[in-house]
Amino acid sequence: MTDTAELETLVGRSYQHGFVTDIESDSLPPGLDESTVRAISLKKREPQFLLDWRLAAFRHWQTMTPPKWAHVHYPPIDFQEISYYSAPKAPANAPKSLDEVDPKLLATYAKLGVPLHERARLAGVAVDAVFDSVSVATTFKDRLEKAGVIFCSFSDAVQKHPELIERYLGTVVPPADNYYACLNSAVYSDGSFVYIPEGVRCPMELSTYFRINAAKTGQFERTLIIAAPGSHVSYLEGCTAPMRDENQLHAAVVELIAEDDAQIKYSTVQNWYPGDENGIGGIYNFVTKRGECRGRNSKISWTQVETGSAITWKYPSCVLKGENSIGEFYSVATVNNYQQADTGTKMIHVGANTRSTIVSKGISAGKGSNSYRGLVKILPTAHGARNFTQCDSLLMGSQCAAHTFPYVEVKNGSATVEHEASTSRISEDQLFYCLQRGISQEDAVNMIVSGFCKSVFKELPMEFAVEAQALLAVSLEGAVG
Amino acid sequence: MLKVDNLHVSVAGKAVLKGLTLEVNAGEVHAIMGPNGSGKSTLSYVLAGRPGYEVTAGTVRYDGQDLLALAPEERARAGVFLGFQYPVEIPGVNNVYLLKAAMNAARKHRGLPEVDAFEFLTLVKDKMKLMQMDEAFLSRGVNEGFSGGEKKRNEILQMLVLEPKLALLDETDSGLDIDALKIVARGVNTLRSPERAVVLVTHYQRLLDHIVPDRVHVLAKGRIVRSGDRSLALELEKRGYDWLTQDAA
C-alpha cells in the first residue's frame, strides 16, 4: 500500500511569501480603548459622523463576547496586545505617483507578483495595494475615472465621497452584526471603495492586494462595493502575509451592494501565512463578507480559493432581496499541517424567484481540519426560490478531518432546495493509474486535486485561475504518498 | 524482452503466484488464460508495480534490467503499459490532459522536449479515428461517466498514443460487445511490431480469434501449468480448465 507517512512528507513545502519589508512605520502603540478609536479617526481626518459611528460600534463591541460556535480552536486573543494602526512613513504624506513610492515597498509587491507598472497595464488590472493599513499606490485611476468608476482607498473615499460612505456604510453588515465585524467597525484603518455608476460595465478587472507586514498589527480593512442599476464589476482580492511566530489577527469586513440588473463578481485568492508545520504562528482570518442583491435581476457571485491562514472563519453571503436576483458561492478551501478552516456561505432568499448556487470543495491534508458551514434560508416572501448546494470533501492522509454543517430553513412551500455532499480520498487506484502512465506522484496528486476543484476554478478570472492552481499545488505538495 | 523467473507474490500475506515462469520475446503476442482466482490480474499488477503486491521470491528482467527495482512510473516511462481491467475515473481531469502529461513524462525520460501541442492533437485524433471514438471524449474527465466498453477503448487509445514496448492488457475484452471487441483488437494489432510485445490476459478465446497469439499459457493456482500455440486456446474452449487445474493441485 502507499505509505501514508510518505504522503504526509510530500505535503510540507515552505511558505514562499514569508519575507518582511524593513520600512519605518508610523504605528499606534498596542492597546484598545476609546482613545485608540479617536486617534485612528483623527489620523484619517474623518468627518464627525464616522467618528460617532466608530465610537458607537466600539461601545457595542465592549458588550459582546467572541463567537464560540465555529469548529476551530485557539487561545483567547488579547486585544490589548495588538497595535491598531500601522502606516508606512512616506515623505510629505501620500505619494503622488509610483516614483514617489518607497522602492522597497515596490520590491515587496514585485515579490508578491502584484501587477504594478507596465505589468499592470499588460494584465489590464488596476491595483489598489493596501500595505498594512494605508493604500500606497493606485493605478489606472484615469481610465476608470473616464468611465465614471470610483476605485480608491477607503480613506480617499471618506474624503472625496463622504455622502456615499454615509449612505452605504454598514447597511449590509451593520456594526453590531457580529463580534469581529463590530471590532472592525470601530478600528478599521483603510480598505477599498468601488462605485460603478448606472449602466457602466467596469472596463477592467479591479484588484486589491492586501498584505500584513508590521509585526503585531491587526489588519482591519473595510471594502465597500456599490454597483448602481445595470452596472457590472469584477473584483479580485489576493492576500499574503509574512512569516511570524505570533499569530496575527485579520478581521475584515466586505460589503457589496447590487442594485437593479447589476452584477458583482468578487474573487479571492487567500494565501495568508498558515503557520509552520507545527502549527506555530499564522494568521487568524476572521472575516465578514456579505453582499446584498437589492435590485431586481441583480447578481452577486463569490469565488474564493483559500489556501492560507492558521484559522479561517468566513462565510461570504448573499441576501437576495430583489426579485429574480441570483447569489453564487464557489469555494475551494485547503487545510494542511495544523490549519483550521470553518468556512461556507449564507444564502438568504427574501425576494420571489431568487436563485442561489453553492459549490464548496474542501481539501484536508496533514492534521488540518476543514468545515463547511452553510445556511440556506428561504423566507415566506421568497416564492419560487431555488437553491442548489454541492459540498465535496477530499481527504489526504489519515490525520486530517472534514466536517459539513449544512443548515436549511425553508418558510415557503414553493421553494426548491437541493443538497449534494460527498467525501472522498484521493484513491490509490487513481494514483496508481496516473503512475502507470508514467506521471510522477506529485504531478498526479496535483492533477487529481485540480480536477476535484475544476468547477470552482472555472469561475475565476483567467490569471487568477492559474495562480490559484499553482498555490494549491504548493500548499498540498507532498500531501499524498 | 520480458523474463519472469520463479515469481512468488503475496497479497495481504496470502500467496497468489507460486513460482511463475514466463518468457516473452520482442515481436511476440502471448495470451495468459486461466480460471478466476488463478492469479492472472496479480501478474499484470505486479509487473506494473502496483503497491500491495509483495514479491517474496523470483526475478523479473525487462529489457535487460531488473524490473522489480523500478518504481511504477519508471516502469511506465521505460515502456511498460498496463491496460486496466477496471479503469478508474478521475473526475475533472481531461482525457487529453492526462494523455499529454503521460506522453511528456515518457519524452522527458528519453531526453526529448515536450510534445508540440498541435502535433499531439493531430496524433491523438488520428488514433481516435482508428478506435472509432468521438472527439468529444478528449475534453471529458478521465473515464468519467464512460460505459464499460468506452473505458476499454480509451485504454487502447492511450496505448496507441504512448506506443509502449511491452503492453499488458488485463481482460481488455471483458464487457465488450462483438463490434467493440473488433475495434479493440484492431487497435492492438496496429501496435504489433518486431520491437514490441503484448501480453493478453483473458478468460475467453474469442479475443484470440481477432488477435492471434504466438503463445498461449494456462495459469492455475499461481503457476503456468500448460503452454502451447493457438490450438491450446481452442482446446480450452472445448474442454474448459478442469482437466488442467486438477493436474496442478
Report the pLDDT value the prediction gives residue A359, as an integer from 0 to 100. Answer: 94
b/e per residue, A154-172, with b = 16+ CB within 10 A? bbbbbeebeebbeebbbeb
C-alpha distances (whole Å) from A67 to each of A178, A319, B147 are: 8, 22, 50
Smallest Cα distance from A346 to chain B, Å: 26
CB contact under 8 A, B88 and A443: no
CB contact under 8 A, B101 and A443: yes
Q: CA geometry: angle at A194 spanning A188 and A200, to 5°? A: 170
Nearest to A273 by CA among A296, A245, A300: A245
Beta strands in B63-114 (DSSP E): 65-66, 80-83, 90-94
Q: CA geometry: angle at A311 spanning A391 and A69, to 5°? A: 70
C-alpha distances (whole Å) from A127 to each of A7, A207, A209, A273, A410 are: 38, 5, 7, 21, 41
C-alpha distances (whole Å) from B33 to each of A378, A388, B38, B111, B201 are: 61, 50, 9, 38, 6
Cell of B212: 492471434
CB contact under 8 A, A448 and B50: no
Angle of helix A179-187 relative to helix A48-61, nearest 10 degrees, comes to 150
Report the pLDDT value the prediction gives residue A366, as an integer from 0 to 100. Answer: 81
Smallest Cα distance from B143 to chain A, Å: 11
Any A CB within 8 A of B76 CB: yes
Report the pLDDT value the prediction gives residue A439, as an integer from 0 to 100. Answer: 95
Nearest CA in chain A to B51: A1
Angle of helix A441-457 relative to helix A462-476, nearest 10 degrees, comes to 140
Please state, as a whole number, how many other Cβ atoms lie within 10 Å of the Cβ of residue A142.
Answer: 7
Report the pLDDT value the prediction gives residue B26, as an integer from 0 to 100. Answer: 95
Report the pLDDT value the prediction gives residue A17, as an integer from 0 to 100. Answer: 56
Q: Chain-centre distance of CA B161, in angstroms? A: 14
Burial class (CB in 10 A: 0-12, 13-18, 19+), A434: buried
Which residues of chain A, if any, have pLDDT below 70? Answer: 1-26, 87-142, 208-218, 239-247, 279, 463-464, 466-467, 470-471, 473-481
The number of residues making up chain B comes to 249
Can you tell me the distance from the alpha carbon of A170 to that of A178, in angstroms, rounded to the nearest whole number? Answer: 12
Residue of A432, A453, A472 to mutate, testing the B interface (most B Cβ within 10 Å of its Cβ): A432
Which residues of chain B, if any, have pLDDT below 50? Answer: 248-249
Kindly give the pairing relationship between strand A150-153 and strand A190-196.
Answer: antiparallel
Report the pLDDT value the prediction gives residue A246, as an integer from 0 to 100. Answer: 60
Can you tell me the distance from the alpha carbon of A378 to that of A380, in angstroms, rounded to the nearest whole number? Answer: 7
Report the pLDDT value the prediction gives residue A325, as an integer from 0 to 100. Answer: 97
- Contact indicator for A448, A426 with CB cutoff of 8 Å: yes
Show which residues on chain A lie within 8 Å of chain B, measured between beta carbons: 1-2, 427-430, 432-441, 443, 447-448, 450-455
Provide, as residue numbers in chain A, all residues whose Cβ is less than 8 Å from the Cβ of B98: 434, 437, 439, 447
Give 3-state DSSP helix, strand, coil % of chain B, rounded to 5: 40, 30, 30
Q: What is the pLDDT of residues A353-372, one digit of tens each?
A: 999 999 999 888 888 888 89
Provide φ and ψ at B7, rounded to 5°. -80, 125
Q: Does the interface ipTM go beyond 0.85? A: yes
- Contact indicator for A319, A347 with CB cutoff of 8 Å: no
Nearest to A37 by CA among A160, A182, A173, A153: A182
Nearest CA in chain B to A3: B51
Report the pLDDT value the prediction gives residue A426, as an integer from 0 to 100. Answer: 81
Any A CB within 8 A of B179 CB: no
Q: CA geometry: angle at A423 spanning A418 and A427, to 5°? A: 140
Any A CB within 8 A of B92 CB: yes
Write the DSSP symbol of residue A229: T
Cell of A399: 490525520
CB contact under 8 A, B77 and A434: no
